[in-house]
Chain A
Amino acid sequence: MHLKGKVWKFGNDIDTDAIIPARYLNTSDPKELAKHVMEDADKDFPSKMQAGDIIVAGKNFGCGSSREHAPIALKAAGINAVIARSFARIFYRNAFNIGLPIFESTDASEHIQEGDAIEIDAGNGTVKNLSAGKEYSAKPIPPFMRELISAGGLIEWTKNKMKGAA
């Protein structure tokens, strides 16, 4: 799978309150959540981003609350993928569970600039910066997370497992 898009850059420690503020959590409708994505990090973000764009951030992306609404809002808004130097633990699980592609790469996080066009090869973790003509590598996706993805997410994986046990 190749993920191609234009980059929006964010800094370190982007918390889930910035990704989707709690004042909008009286619903879990992905379309409603998408309207406010990243609003407290950049209030114009929901209007200026386009479906297919990619977020590149610093360390500890998605820290704070366990709200799955955060990756859901990003996915529903059409964010193609998130690259960060590191991800907070619960956000990392949630992203895989709901099918938002995420990649860890210090090089990509440091060198990619806002507005760059990039292409990620999800299979081998290669990140190509089409604007700068450079290439970076992301950490390979752990085997178990690949298993979750190929099963179609955690619920499908659990279904298969429970069937196997029955």
Chain B
Amino acid sequence: MMTITEKILAAHAGKDEVVAGELINAKVDLVLANDITAPISITEFGKSGAAKVFDKDRIALIPDHFTPQKDIKAAEQCKMLREFSKKHQLSLYFEVGRMGIEHALLPEQGIVVPGDLVIGADSHTCTYGALGAFATGVGSTDVAAAMASGECWFKVPESMKFIYYGKLNKWASGKDLILHTIGDIGVDGALYRAMEFEGEAISGLPMYGRLTMCNMAIEAGGKNGLIVPDTITEEYVKGRAKRPYKFYYSDPKASYVEVKEYDCSKIPLTVSCPHLPSNTKPAQELSGVTVDQVVVGSCTNGRLEDLREAAQILKGRKVNPNVRMIIFPATQLIYKQAMHEGLMDIFIDAEAVVSTPTCGPCLGGHMGILAKGERAIATTNRNFVGRMGHPESEVFLSNPAVAAASAVLGRIGTPEELGL
């Protein structure tokens, strides 16, 4: 009797069964790193003495954080990725113009598939659990070792189940479910554990919402987030999967260390206040909070459907004169689709700025840094001290609809306040 997490780990460790707490060595299907983490991996890989990588088609290097190259040092780091990729003939290197934010790009391009075991030197690697894959963030040295050996060690995590009953409230989305959950269990509420999401609301949740939820499992300390694959998964992966895939399911009698249940009708539009994602409040209680900047995008909420939600709010309206609004589509494909659908016209007419795909503003890297005392509401994933700029700036986290409504209002607000 195993959970989906245990089954995927067992299959990749060549075992019939694994139990929580067991230490295993498992084969990885994909290893990824970005322009911040890969330089250390490349240096450590050099020290391993390995002449070549374990598989040139299973290592994804994606310069997405400080790209387009923001300064000389960042450009030097990106150059390391490019040169390493050329030397080892990596087929999954994505240059500026072809790249996107890694956790949006890899599922979109069918490079990660259900049943995969993926490690990435980026904490939001857990995003791919939405496809029914086991995916977790590790450090650069773990990635270096895996680039050489194709393997990684894991402690099989205990699994925690989250069941969402009923239907989502108007304008509520996967983001509200996950923020509410983190608010309930805390930033270490799932420490070292697998977070498995299920229930009526999850069965009806489109893939983009599932990706948002699994993306933020790390914000509760989780090792991975997971949604058992179903017809929505099948619809999403067919036609885009670049490799054969396999659906794994949790056994009905699998063991869970804890089960949390939520009634979605009681989950409001939710905002995380500074300086922890667990510091949640209903959006409507924050109407006195003015904002200087609004950011829509990131690996959490930069997909086409997220942009459509923002556009629904912004159509025919203007961003408040006191607000700078920055929208960044997560991949080139999303950018192009947003253009074809006329979303770009809506954004530009509303006086928002639209950026090329980059992680830049989310982590205070570039393309939208906050000054001392400034405040932002963002669809990103972290609101730690200094996350988006000056240590005395503040970040509030929300879904795209709340962020867009706040951009119009000049303060935190909901679409209802605009009559929507």
Contact in complex: B48, A155 (CB < 8 Å): yes
A66 contacts across to B, CB distance below 8 A: 37, 120-123, 125, 137-139
**Closest B residue, CB atoms, query A71:** B139
Whole-angstrom distance between the Cβ of A8 and the nearest chain B Cβ: 17
Answer yes or no: A90 CB below 8 A from chain B CBs: yes
Nearest to A18 among chain B residues (CB) is: B385
A17 touching B385 in the complex, CB below 8 Å, given contacts A26-B73, A144-B23: yes
By size class, the interface of chain B is 35 or more
Q: Establish whether residues A65 and B123, one from each chain, have CB atoms under 8 Å apart when the complex forms.
A: yes
Instruction: Decide: A94 and B141 in contact? CB cutoff 8 A.
Output: yes
Segment with Cβ contacts to B, from A74-82, A114-122, A126-134, A157-165: A157-165
**Please, which residues of chain A bring their CB within 8 A of the CB of B386?**
17-18, 21, 23, 40
Chain A neighbourhood of B141, CB < 8 A: 68, 94, 97-98, 153-155
Binds A, one of B144-152, B203-211, B239-247: B144-152
CA distance A110 to B223 in the complex (A): 26
Q: Verify if A41 is at the interface (C-beta below 8 Å from B).
A: yes
**Docked pose: A89 CA to B138 CA in angstroms:** 9
B342 at interface, CB cutoff 8 A: no
Cβ–Cβ contact A22 & B148, under 8 A: no
Flag if B149 contacts A22 (CB, 8 Å).
Answer: no
Which residues in A have their C-beta under 8 angstroms from that of B49?
A: 159
A4: Cβ under 8 A from any B Cβ: no
Q: Interface residues of A toward B: which range?
A: 35 or more
How many angstroms from the CA of A33 to the CA of B153 in the assembled complex? 28
Give the nearest-CB partner of B145 in chain A: A158
**A residues less than 8 Å from B286 (CB atoms):** none
Residue from B39, B48, B122, B276 within 8 A of A28 (CB atoms): B39
Chain A neighbourhood of B74, CB < 8 A? 26
CA distance A66 to B37 in the complex (A): 8
Q: How far is the CA of A39 from the CA of B392 in the complex (A)?
A: 12
Contact of B282 with A by CB under 8 A: no
Q: How many A-B residue pairs have CB under 8 A?
A: 137
Q: Is the CB of B385 within 8 A of A97?
A: no
| B198 interface hit (Cβ, 8 Å) | no
Query: Shortest beta-carbon distance, B242 to chain A, in Å?
Result: 25
Contact, CB under 8 Å: B145 / A155: yes
Tell me, yes or no, whether B387 is within 8 Å of chain A by CB. yes
Q: Which of A15, A39, A93, A97 contacts B384 (CB 8 A)?
A: A15
Which residues, 135 to 163 on A, are CB-close (under 8 Å) to B?
A: 144, 153-155, 157-159, 161-162
Q: Which chain B residues lie closer than 8 Å to A41 at the CB level?
A: 385
B40 at the A interface (CB under 8 A)? yes
B373–chain A nearest beta-carbon distance, Å: 15
16 contacts between A and B (CB under 8 A): A17-B364, A26-B73, A28-B39, A40-B385, A66-B125, A66-B138, A67-B36, A68-B37, A86-B191, A90-B137, A98-B139, A144-B153, A154-B141, A155-B44, A158-B48, A162-B149
Binding site for A on B (CB under 8 A): 23, 36-37, 39-40, 43-44, 47-50, 65-66, 70-71, 73-74, 77, 120-123, 125, 137-142, 144-145, 148-149, 153, 187-188, 191-192, 218, 221, 223, 276, 363-365, 369, 382, 384-387, 389, 391
Residues of A whose CB lies within 8 Å of any CB of B are: 13, 15, 17-18, 21-23, 25-28, 39-41, 43, 59-60, 63-69, 72, 86, 88-90, 93-94, 97-98, 144, 153-155, 157-159, 161-162
Question: Shortest 8 CB-CB distances between A and B: which pairs?
Answer: A94-B139, A26-B73, A68-B139, A97-B141, A60-B188, A22-B363, A40-B386, A66-B123
